Structure 1
Amino acid sequence: MLVIESGKFKGKRIDIVPDKRTRYTTGKVRRALISMFDVSDKEVLELCAGSGITGFEFLSNGAKFVTFVDASEKAIKTIKKNALILGVKESVNIVKIDARIFLKRNTKKFDIVFMDPPYELGIGNELLNLFGNEIWKNSIIVFEHSKYEKVKIPEFLEIIKQKKYGNIILEILRHIS
């Protein structure tokens, strides 16, 4: 079980994905994220969502709507169950698709994008390169990755802030205007 760290669902427990390969954004990092942004009434996209814990943390703190994307059937079932546990089924869209394909096909604007792809497989760099089109111009992109991962930020994105939490790095990015 995971615990929501802040907001109206603080202390509520949600299920984890029944897969040992799934890694979760720590409570410390989620609390830090919430302190960095005013998520009130924001449209949020969580890529490589796993259990959905980060998106649910955003909803707990006032986000209007969260779209969860994951390629794993186990993750999708877990997110659906967690949305029911928290009573937020009407505030979420749950999409079973590879995050790279989702970004290539997406036409909807999001205020905040949070992505926590599997570490050290290059998927993060692939995802970053898919934020080049106009639809992402006003989005804040939060990229969680391992400090051991070689990250190449595309030239159309700039780092607004970088935070380190042990072996985890959060890159806060936006389009260069």
Structure 2
Amino acid sequence: MRIIGGEFKGRHFSPGSSFKARPTTDFAKENLFNILIHRIDLDEISVLDLFGGTGSITLEFVSRGCGKVTCVEKNYRHFSFIQATVKTLGVEKAVHLIKGDVFRFLEKSAGKYDLIFADPPYALPNLETLPELIFQHELLTPDGIFILEHGKTNSFESHPQFSELRKYGSVHFSMFSQGKD
């Protein structure tokens, strides 16, 4: 895993070969952040990273100046790796790390976020329910963006809050907002 931009650009962290997470590819991550930096002032937003995995997205936001990132990860090994990496970088104040189930978190969360990013396992049985849960529980601020990373077998274009789709190889980002653009 590599941080591709910001203060920690070029830093590498290795979760080990037995790690089960599939981090967002550098190519896809770089293109996503190129879009985001032209739309949002990253140091002024609160971010929710669901299915944290390696922590790649959380750390990318922090590296680029975001001071409020909540990261939810259920797997103990993944959680521990993210925790250790956050400590190594000295960004404990910027990252609120939660070890727990994303779906339970969404049901109970009372927070509102400017940007929510979800990178679930592509084969997750209830992946298609994520956009509805985000909007049902009103987790986005009025101008907030929800980005769902998924494979090519899913399509969210008929969802009422869907705004755009970006494809980078096998990585697809569906973006949602309160109203269509």
If the length of structure 1 is used for normalisation, what is the TM-score? 0.89
The amino acid that maps onto 2:148 is F
| Deviating more after overlay: 119-128 vs 79-88 | 119-128
Shift of 1:175: 1.6
Shift of 1:144: 0.4
> Aligned Cα RMSD in Å?
1.9
2:137 to 118, 124, 133: 133
- The answer (yes or no) to whether the contact 2:3–2:10 under 8 Å persists in 1 is yes
**Number of residue pairs matched by the alignment:** 174
Shift of 1:31: 1.0
Matched, 1:4 2:9: no
Secondary structure of 1:170's aligned partner: strand
Secondary structure of 1:134's aligned partner: coil
In the aligned structure 1, how far is the partner of 2:18 from the partner of 2:75?
10
> Which residue is equivalent to 1:56?
59
In the aligned structure 2, how far is the partner of 1:76 from the partner of 1:26?
20
Matched, 1:70 2:73: yes
Secondary structure of 2:103's aligned partner: helix
- The answer (yes or no) to whether the contact 1:17–1:74 under 8 Å persists in 2 is no
Matched, 1:142 2:147: yes
CA distance 1:43–1:137, shift in 2 (3 Å): closer
In the aligned structure 1, how far is the partner of 2:158 from the partner of 2:59?
27
If the length of structure 2 is used for normalisation, what is the TM-score? 0.88
> Which residue is equivalent to 2:103?
100
Query: Taking every aligned residue pair, what percent have the same amino acid on both sides?
Result: 28
CA distance 1:81–1:100, shift in 2 (3 Å): same
CA distance 1:93–1:13, shift in 2 (3 Å): same
Shift of 1:135: 3.7
- The answer (yes or no) to whether the contact 1:48–1:99 under 8 Å persists in 2 is yes
Return 5+ residue gaps in structure 1 as ranges. none
Secondary structure of 2:111's aligned partner: coil
CA distance 1:30–1:152, shift in 2 (3 Å): same
> Which residue is equivalent to 1:175?
178
- The answer (yes or no) to whether the contact 1:40–1:63 under 8 Å persists in 2 is yes
Secondary structure of 1:112's aligned partner: strand
